[in-house]
Chains A and B, each alone.
Chain A
Amino acid sequence: MKKKLVSLLLSASMVAALVGCGGGDSEAPAADDSNTSTDAPADSSASTDAAGDTAAEGEGEAAASDYQLDTLNIVVDGTLTATLDNGQPEFEAQWEDAVAESLGHPVDLVIQQLDHSGYIDAVGRLFAGGDYPDAMIMPAAMFKQYAPTGLLWDMGSAYDNADFQERMALPSVNENLKDSQGRLYGFAYGYGNGCVTYVKQAWLDAVGLKAEDIKTYDDYYDMLLKFHNEDPDGNGTTGDTYGVIAAGFMGNEAPWINYLPEFWQDAFPAIYQDESGTWVDGFQSDATKEALLRLQQAYKDGAIDPESLTASTKIAREKWFSNDQTGAAGAFAYWAGTWYQTLTDNLIKNEVDADLVELAPIQEIKDSWGGYLNREAPVWVIIDDGDGDDAREQAVFDTLIETMMDGDKVQTLWTYGAEDVHWSTKAESFVTNPGTENEKSYEYADGEFHLKPSPNDSNTLWKKNLIDPALVICPLTNGFEDTSELASEGNKFFTENCVDAPASPTSETYTNETGNIYDAQLACITDVVTKGGDVDAAMETYVSTVGSTIDTILEELNSAE
């Protein structure tokens, strides 16, 4: 017993000693308590380590133009489609050559591509470990939460004085990102894009409907019911298909309603600014209650695939274009533009009738929002090393963003990928899907810009790299253009039928409580939609769970205005 007691005490003292050792400030990962951008935001040594170059080179004395960046560390998500197995090494090498030529000195580009679906989580872990890149991509909602932390560099001045301003086609995109004091913490290279509702033409034909006749919610709902009840896939069984499928009844990021816009209509189940400029909780509105009742009815009627509750975007789209259309749905709201082509390609690959039609926004959407919602754009952010000198950050801006918008070589790399890997101007001919009914031949003359087959899938034509040429704020000046007809048509359709989504909120309490609020919202939605619960009772539970937190957030937001 005595021995055990002694060993217990020894263990406890060892732990206490270790805890004591580690309690010093030297372990602190980043330094900013003030929520202002001018304060030191991040552990500069960590930032330097991440960059791989020496911050000492530029500390204090070097002017922005003198600072020479040797290594550029960037973190990206899956929107950089030139992945490691899809031509990224070639992209990287060509970027280094082009930038060296442009800046007059070599820069080593280090890309850290994180898993797209777990990006937010992975970035958090990266930062918590003190591993800061020079620049990174942030989705809009994530950016809104990081902007006030002081971690991000205010690139307002760099942006205003950038060379690409001369060619700026969509100035409002970044002007809207500036705060009331003109600070710009993130650079959007294009507008956000959004989702439109795609419908399988063969299914419309099978149930005797025309897309142009789907004008109101009643028309839309009637179409969904027909897709469920009238055997649109022609397998002889009714009720084994669904009207629509989505990745969740509510999206997991802003603008929340874009995967089922016809059901949500005028509702916006999140905190947003109303017409008067007051921040409100749209989830508690009558519009949301009505939307939940519509979803409840659709779930009950089989108009919506019940697996929408648990489906990820990948599962939803794969089920939608799967080879076996039993259990599939006829309508699917998904991203506009390039995805129009991608969805079609996948239907072709799976030997399913690939004719798709883009559904114009129904009257209820037009009357409320005015069209499909154009989400807030993802942005590039530059990490502020907190040394009080902007030289390094300006160099990152010049190396990454200024060149990215050069209209020529580097912008082409970010737009279409690597030359002779993803695209080419050399004479060549190739065939996709050889030996199948979808076989297609391509032939190009010397000097003709064209996209090549994807490096990892020779039957699919490469579409784009990071920047969508149709959405970019500064167009290319070299005349390179090879966007598929469908992608162009999709972009045109979306831009003609979209409005900007409400801006995401920025508040300390909101940041702290996002997880709890989202859980409470999902609980309310599933309670009503899948369990057939009373909407008022479910809303009361929501209010009793997070109502006081929401009030605090609204107070913070409205007092800050």
Chain B
Amino acid sequence: MKKNKKVVTSTGVAVREKPLGIRIWNNRGYYIMFIPVLITVIIMNYWPMLGIRYALYDYKPVGTPKLIGFDHFTKMFSTDAFWVAFKNTLQLSIMKLIITTITSVVVSVFLNEMGNLLAKKTLQTVIYLPHFMSWAVVASIFSLLLSPSSTGMVNGWLKDLGLIAQDQAGIYFLAESRWWRPIFYLINIWKETGWGTIIFLATLSGINPELYEAADIDGATRMQKIRYVTIPALMNTIVTVLILNLAKVMNMFESVFVLYNNAVYDVSDVISTYIYRQSFAIALPNYGYTTAVGLFKSLVGGALVIICNQISKKVRGRGII
């Protein structure tokens, strides 16, 4: 008769492990509680994954899906618009991540240095607020502000300052390729910096005050304290935030969708907006093709997660998954 292996309990006592069936029975309460979760995960997370197979099918709103092998992938890799979207996705996401992280760190440090608690709290609240506005509202506001017509506030200022001649047409910030990305980053900074400071402020509040006291004794200036105490203390959090967000770079959609237009597809079109147009802007879309593009996006996203996990292990000593 096969002997059950020994296990050590939390109290350090070595006991023989009971058979699986008995263990399940003994813990039946937990398993019963787990059933709804399991069912939900299967239905909500795994069942939709059945749709992956349509990447290999010619699948339109009408008619039976036809198996066509890897034709969609062949078409996808030979389409310029796809590669433009892929390149833009990486560029926009990574740049946005770097810029918003840097601004969040800078703002956090400044907030941390503020002595007046009321002013600090008020400023924090003010910079958090844009995060709670929907992207559609943000896009409407900035479209009005940046309008090239005579009603656009920014172009009005530029004309008043003499940077644009009065009889010259205004700059169409959201429809000119050279302006679109800087504006996109600026809007992201405005909207997300405040929210991004939360985690850094939490870290800053946890820095041992003795380090600052020691620095004071050594005669460090405020800037030196920031450079030699605050920033090093934040580094681990900065790396963590970067790594965690790097895994999500392929998921960019809403912020681009509400701000882009056909004049700037070359610098703004991302994989998700490309999929959207291919799926929903034509009468008889081929969902098979868009599934293939979506699958490719997911695979790249998955690879990024694994890479980030490895980097995390090396940098922080533990993975993120």
B66 — which chain A residues lie within 8 A by C-beta?
33
Judge if B194 is at the interface, Cβ distance under 8 Å: no
A348 — which chain B residues lie within 8 A by C-beta?
none
A125 — which chain B residues lie within 8 A by C-beta?
61, 280
A530 — which chain B residues lie within 8 A by C-beta?
172, 175-176, 263
Give the interface segment out of B21-29, B108-116, B142-150, B234-242.
B142-150
A41 — which chain B residues lie within 8 A by C-beta?
62-63
Known contacts A150-B63, A239-B166; is-contact A124 B280 (Cβ 8 Å): yes
A128 lies within 8 A of B280 (CB)? no
Interface string of B154-193 (1 = CB under 8 A from A): 0000000000001101101011110000000000000000
Closest to A41 in B: B62
Judge if A430 is at the interface, Cβ distance under 8 Å: no
B286 — which chain A residues lie within 8 A by C-beta?
512
Give the interface segment out of B8-16, B48-56, B128-136, B206-214.
B48-56
* Complex: A309 Cα to B262 Cα, angstroms: 8
User: In chain A, residues 148-171, which have Cβ atoms closer than 8 Å to a Cβ of chain B?
Assistant: 149-151
* Complex: A370 Cα to B150 Cα, angstroms: 36
A531 — which chain B residues lie within 8 A by C-beta?
176-177, 263
Which of A30, A118, A326, A522 is the one whose CB lies under 8 Å from B64?
Answer: A30
Judge if A9 is at the interface, Cβ distance under 8 Å: no
Question: What's the least CB distance linking B49 to chain A, in Å?
Answer: 6
Closest to A142 in B: B283
Known contacts A149-B63, A519-B265; is-contact A22 B53 (Cβ 8 Å): yes
A519 — which chain B residues lie within 8 A by C-beta?
81, 262, 265, 277
B53 lies within 8 A of A239 (CB)? no
B172 lies within 8 A of A14 (CB)? no
Closest to B148 in A: A306
Known contacts A22-B53, A120-B282, A327-B149; is-contact A302 B262 (Cβ 8 Å): no
Closest to B285 in A: A124
Judge if B261 is at the interface, Cβ distance under 8 Å: yes
User: In chain A, residues 529-546, which have Cβ atoms closer than 8 Å to a Cβ of chain B?
Assistant: 530-531, 545
Which of B52, B148, B263 is the one whose CB lies under 8 Å from A526?
Answer: B263
* Complex: A327 Cα to B153 Cα, angstroms: 12
Interface string of B80-101 (1 = CB under 8 A from A): 1100000000000000000000
B53 — which chain A residues lie within 8 A by C-beta?
19, 22-23
Judge if B30 is at the interface, Cβ distance under 8 Å: no
Which of B49, B167, B281, B285 is the one whose CB lies under 8 Å from A18?
Answer: B49
Question: What's the least CB distance linking B43 to chain A, in Å?
Answer: 11
* Complex: A261 Cα to B239 Cα, angstroms: 57
User: In chain B, residues 232-255, which have Cβ atoms closer than 8 Å to a Cβ of chain A?
Assistant: none
B61 lies within 8 A of A141 (CB)? no
A523 lies within 8 A of B262 (CB)? yes
Known contacts A15-B46, A18-B50, A307-B149; is-contact A515 B62 (Cβ 8 Å): no
* Complex: A242 Cα to B60 Cα, angstroms: 43
Judge if B47 is at the interface, Cβ distance under 8 Å: yes
Question: What's the least CB distance linking A224 to chain B, in Å?
Answer: 14
Known contacts A239-B167, A309-B261, A327-B149; is-contact A511 B284 (Cβ 8 Å): yes
Interface string of A279-318 (1 = CB under 8 A from B): 0000000000000000000001010011101100000000
B263 lies within 8 A of A14 (CB)? no
User: In chain A, residues 509-561, which have Cβ atoms closer than 8 Å to a Cβ of chain B?
Assistant: 511-512, 514-516, 518-519, 522-523, 526, 530-531, 545
A31 lies within 8 A of B64 (CB)? yes
A121 lies within 8 A of B281 (CB)? yes
A149 lies within 8 A of B64 (CB)? no
Judge if A146 is at the interface, Cβ distance under 8 Å: yes
Question: What's the least CB distance linking A292 to chain B, in Å?
Answer: 14
Question: What's the least CB distance linking B34 to chain A, in Å?
Answer: 16
A306 lies within 8 A of B169 (CB)? yes
B149 lies within 8 A of A515 (CB)? no
- What 12 new A-B contacts, CB under 8 Å, besides A42-B62, A512-B286, A518-B282? A22-B50, A125-B61, A149-B60, A149-B284, A150-B63, A151-B63, A306-B172, A310-B174, A310-B263, A511-B283, A531-B177, A545-B80
* Residues of B in contact with A (beta carbons under 8 Å apart): 42, 46-47, 49-50, 52-53, 60-66, 79-81, 143, 147-151, 166-167, 169-170, 172, 174-177, 261-263, 265-266, 277-287
Which 8 pairs, one residue from A and one from B, show the smallest C-beta to C-beta distance?
A: A240-B150, A121-B280, A127-B61, A22-B50, A327-B151, A522-B262, A526-B263, A142-B283
* Residues of A in contact with B (beta carbons under 8 Å apart): 14-15, 18-19, 21-23, 25, 28-33, 41-42, 118, 120-121, 123-128, 141-142, 145-146, 149-151, 237, 239-242, 300, 302, 305-307, 309-310, 324, 326-327, 511-512, 514-516, 518-519, 522-523, 526, 530-531, 545
Name 25 interchain pairs, CB-CB below 8 A, sorted by A.
Answer: A18-B42, A19-B49, A19-B50, A19-B53, A21-B50, A30-B64, A32-B62, A41-B62, A42-B62, A120-B283, A124-B61, A124-B279, A142-B283, A150-B63, A239-B150, A241-B150, A309-B175, A310-B263, A326-B151, A327-B151, A515-B281, A516-B81, A519-B277, A530-B176, A545-B80
